[in-house]
Structure 1
Amino acid sequence: MQDQQSARLLGPAEVRRLAEDLGMRPTKKLGQNFVHDPNTVRRIVATSGVTAEDVVLEVGPGLGSLTLGLLSTAQAVTAVEVDAALAATLPRTVAERAPALVDRLRTVEADALSLRERDLADRAPTALVANLPYNVAVPVVLHLLAEFPTLRHGLVMVQAEVADRMAAKPGSRTYGVPSAKAAWFADVRREGPVPRGVFWPVPNVDSGLVSFTRTEPPSTVAREQVFRVLDAAFAQRRKTLRSALSKWAGSAARAETLLRAAGVPPSSRGEQLAVSDFVRIAEAARDIPDDSESSGAR
């Protein structure tokens, strides 16, 4: 007999049937590649570290494959789905395949990038677990980490190249803005590949898992100020920081002054710096007056 606190997960036949019932064809625009392998769902849930204490935020639940797995483990799941038809169908699927768990589900029809902390104030999420559309994965993760300080940990499935960029460390070929900004919020790690064959339709890219564990902000300087330094540093990757930060700092000379005050060689490039280095540059800009502004120079 099936445990009442577990769900009957979706297999390939069930995923296709649900799609046929909806009369839908997955669209590339919305990044709709649905997981149809129960073992992959179990692996994601286990790797995510979700427990009965967690309120999970799931973005893009689609037909409900991962939702069903999460409901069996988490205290509750808030599923955010931008597709109206899928959002309406998800509660029915859960009621059919996990009737004892349906009260744990809340479905929100919305774009994840429009979510605000007040929207989920009555059920603050503690974990993010999602199969994210490849074209919006980084913006979604960064937005949710910024907007929901209650998110303590999570696991996302994204395009393999995106996973590499999110978890990259300074000095590596894939290190850049996504890596450094993600490091402001959390310790980010690569958790292995996901084969193409577990999706329907089969994507033409490889996928990977990325986990994160929230850490304390590395500075009292406002995040936006640090991110402006980051954006400027990587906007012209081939240039030295003295040159790349000249517009942000007001001049190349002031950029050099701030870099030296932060203990960063002016000849360095953005990909060599950790988020802590960018923090020190922002702190130097806060603490060292801009002589050109005080003198009225242009």
Structure 2
Amino acid sequence: MSTTSPALLGPADIRQLAGRLDVRPTKQLGQNFVVDANTVRRIARLAEIGPDDLVTEIGPGLGSLTLALLETGAQVVAVEIDPKLAAELPATIATRCPPEVAARFSIVESDALLVQAAQLEVDGRTPTAVVANLPYNVAVPVLLTLLERIPTLRSGLVMVQAEVADRLAARPGEKAYGVPSVKAAWYADVRWAGAVSRQVFWPVPNVESGLVQFTARPHPVADVSREEVFACVDAAFAQRRKTLRAALAGWAGSADAAEAALRKAGIDPKTRGERLTVEQFAALAAAR
């Protein structure tokens, strides 16, 4: 490690920090701290970020991943909901990083579901990437909220519960394909980027984790708003075992109206929602 690189946290460092702060990881906040330096470096490498990026990190906790992100040369803005952790992290960064590296870090104490894009700006720049170990209980809404509020995001890599990763990255026709898959696809190309052992966390969680990578892309071309498309998606999957003619009856006003919209969009009324791409949902919403 060069003299200009951060000193990453190991298992003993994290337990010592937590003990000094009297931090007891809680299930309510989904706190499972990564204690393996190789894992956080792997996440930073797969995220393909560098000195030109302004990275948003959600839930930095004690700073394991934060230090690895700073190691890439990127500017990092962390969003932490826990006041105690938010207050301590700048000191950790200052202690374990050379001054020129620590200068690339800032923190916002906030709930990630409430944070606004303006709070994440640095010197007039808005975030280009999001890299995070997302709490299992709020992973999907947090990711979708960030994609909605920060249009300058070009890419990202998030670590989530393996089951959630499957849902986000699923393709039409796959068992895990559902509302999160379609809504994430509205904003980006989403793909599975690898598994993460539960043994790299403290405390060790009861579930496996996975990495999800995304690259932003233009929204599907249709004369319809995101809200209208998402309302159609929600209706289609609320009764996913039914054909779209039946499942969309309430959304369209009647089964006949749903069938008319489906046919106008070039979709067989007997199809189920799990077969449609986000482009087809956009065409369907526009056809109502």
What's the TM-score, normalizing by structure 2?
Answer: 0.97
1:79-117 CA-partner distances (Å, limit 9, x unpaired): 000000000000000011113311111100000000122
1:4-23 CA-partner distances (Å, limit 9, x unpaired): 43111000000000000101
1:184 Cα deviation from its structure 2 partner: 0.5
Asked if 1:102 corresponds to 2:102, the answer is yes
1:34-89 CA-partner distances (Å, limit 9, x unpaired): 00100001100000111111000000000000000101114310000000000000
1:123 Cα deviation from its structure 2 partner: 3.6
Partner in structure 2 of residue 291 of structure 1: none
Q: Does the 8 A contact of 1:56 with 1:74 survive in 2?
A: no
In 2, Cα distance between the equivalents of 1:164 and 1:249? 30
* SS of the residue 1:80 aligns to: strand
Partner in structure 2 of residue 227 of structure 1: 230
1:153 Cα deviation from its structure 2 partner: 0.1
In 2, Cα distance between the equivalents of 1:70 and 1:273? 37
- Name stretches of at least 5 consecutive residues in structure 2 with no aligned partner: none
Q: Does the 8 A contact of 2:198 with 2:207 survive in 1?
A: yes
1:246-277 CA-partner distances (Å, limit 9, x unpaired): 11111111100000010110011110111111
* SS of the residue 1:112 aligns to: coil
In 2, Cα distance between the equivalents of 1:12 and 1:195? 15
Q: Which AA in structure 2 matches 1:103?
A: A
Q: Does the 8 A contact of 1:154 with 1:211 survive in 2?
A: yes
1:200 Cα deviation from its structure 2 partner: 0.4
1:192-250 CA-partner distances (Å, limit 9, x unpaired): 10001100000010000000000001124211111010000001111110011111111
In 2, Cα distance between the equivalents of 1:36 and 1:239? 45
Partner in structure 1 of residue 116 of structure 2: 116
Asked if 1:251 corresponds to 2:254, the answer is yes
In 2, Cα distance between the equivalents of 1:47 and 1:79? 19
- Name stretches of at least 5 consecutive residues in structure 1 with no aligned partner: 286-298
Q: Does the 8 A contact of 2:194 with 2:210 survive in 1?
A: yes
* SS of the residue 1:129 aligns to: strand
* SS of the residue 2:235 aligns to: helix
Q: Does the 8 A contact of 1:226 with 1:278 survive in 2?
A: yes
RMSD over aligned CA atoms reads: 0.9
The equivalences for 1:274-285 within 5 A come to: 274-285=277-288
Partner in structure 2 of residue 52 of structure 1: 51
* SS of the residue 2:206 aligns to: coil
In 2, Cα distance between the equivalents of 1:118 and 1:197? 37
The equivalences for 1:206-217 within 5 A come to: 206-217=208-219
Q: Does the 8 A contact of 2:4 with 2:98 survive in 1?
A: no
In 2, Cα distance between the equivalents of 1:190 and 1:115? 26
* SS of the residue 1:56 aligns to: strand
In 2, Cα distance between the equivalents of 1:79 and 1:99? 18
1:283 Cα deviation from its structure 2 partner: 1.4
Q: Does the 8 A contact of 1:195 with 1:206 survive in 2?
A: yes
Asked if 1:265 corresponds to 2:268, the answer is yes
In 1, Cα distance between the equivalents of 2:233 and 2:4? 46
Corresponding pairs, count: 284
In 1, Cα distance between the equivalents of 2:189 and 2:128? 16
In 1, Cα distance between the equivalents of 2:79 and 2:235? 33
Q: Is 188-197 or 121-130 further displaced after alignment?
A: 121-130
The equivalences for 1:50-89 within 5 A come to: 50-89=49-88
Q: Which AA in structure 2 matches 1:38?
A: A
Q: Does the 8 A contact of 2:59 with 2:80 survive in 1?
A: yes
Q: Does the 8 A contact of 1:55 with 1:74 survive in 2?
A: no
Q: Does the 8 A contact of 2:236 with 2:244 survive in 1?
A: yes
Asked if 1:128 corresponds to 2:169, the answer is no
The equivalences for 1:281-296 within 5 A come to: 281-285=284-288
* SS of the residue 2:113 aligns to: helix
* SS of the residue 1:138 aligns to: helix
Partner in structure 2 of residue 204 of structure 1: 206
- Runs of 4+ in structure 1 deviating by more than 4 angstroms, as ranges, are none
In 2, Cα distance between the equivalents of 1:136 and 1:83? 15
Asked if 1:236 corresponds to 2:239, the answer is yes
In 2, Cα distance between the equivalents of 1:167 and 1:39? 24
What's the TM-score, normalizing by structure 1?
Answer: 0.94
Query: Quick check: which one's helix share is greater?
Result: 1
* SS of the residue 2:189 aligns to: strand
* SS of the residue 1:114 aligns to: coil
Q: Does the 8 A contact of 2:46 with 2:157 survive in 1?
A: yes
